[in-house]
Amino acid sequence: MGKERGFNQRQARTWMRDNAEDYRDPKTGEINSTALAEACAETFDVKDEGGPLDDETHWIWDEAARAL
């Protein structure tokens, strides 16, 4: 999906906001931003080695934090 259509920040932001509740811990009530970023990368088919998850300064991490 992502590689064919071009993975971008806007698409990722929308996906994360739409799906953040699925990553809420029922005990703490907190959203797991790491799991959210990983799921987003998997959804957009950019979870490969050397992709955004391997770059600690990539905007995917910022978007996951903003989705909280």
Ordered by start, the domain boundaries in the chain are 2-66
pLDDT digits (tens, 9 = 90+) for 13-62: 999 999 999 999 999 999 999 999 999 999 999 999 889 999 999 999 99
Quote the tokens at residue 60.
């995917």
Q: pLDDT confidence of 4, banded at 50, 70, 90?
A: very low
Quote the tokens at residue 44.
């957009």
Under a CB-based contact definition with an 8 Å cutoff, are residues 31 and 68 in contact?
yes
Distance CA 6, CA 50 (A): 16
pTM for the structure as a whole? 0.87
Q: Flag the least confident range among 5-9, 48-52, 63-67.
A: 5-9
Paired strand residues for 24: 31
Under a CB-based contact definition with an 8 Å cutoff, are residues 9 and 61 in contact?
no
Distance CA 27, CA 1 (A): 33
